Amino acid sequence: MSLVPKSAQATTRGALAPLARSLHRMGVSANAVTAAGLLLTLVGAGFIAAGRPLFAVAVLIVGALADTLDGQIAKAAGGGTRLGAFLDSTFDRVSDAALASAAIIYGALHGDVLLLWFALVALVSGSLVPYIRAKAESLGLTASVGLAPREARMVLIVLGLLAWAVSGDSQLFVMAFVAVALLSTATVVQRIAHVVGALRNT
């Protein structure tokens, strides 16, 4: 079970499908959109580190849409490529690390120990979530279980930024990162337990 229902993910992809087909007809490649999504996320991370939540949330929403749109463009082109899959997975890891690092920097600059430490936890656990899935798949298993896959973590971060931007209270963003850290850690435990159980039954 995930915090972001699969039906919501499917609805978002369906809504972006016409735009994806139009971009494909214009010659825009999925890899170009993947790269654009990474650049937007890096810019958003810079705004977080600088304490500019409104700019950060605006940029990250567009970046998140690009992250979904690239898969739809690949589908419109007849299917993704191995290069596209590699770039998408690698850039996702860079994006996740950039957002957590930006929160760490902001916490360090403003003396927010809670944000600093929970962002560190989110950085480590967030990197383990996809690693466990990839390792499980290399062993012929699946490990896509858990409360907080990447989509759920991104939603929490964006909501935290939006709350900060609207209220002017950065502690709402801190609480969002606390939730991300705790849910990511829970997801790591869930995936480890799932894989261990599957391996014991083989």
Kindly name the residue from 70, 88, 92, 112 that is annotated as catalytic. Answer: 92
Contacts of 74 (CB under 8 A, 6+ apart): 30, 80, 81, 84
Catalytic residue check, 92: yes
- Residue 3: phi and psi, rounded to 5, are -65, -25
What is the rounded CA–CA span in Å between residue 89 and residue 73?
16
Residue 88 CA to chain centroid, in angstroms? 11
What is the rounded CA–CA span in Å between residue 33 and residue 69?
7
Query: Which sign does the torsion angle of CA 89, 35, 155, 173 carry?
Result: positive
Q: What are the catalytic residues?
A: 92
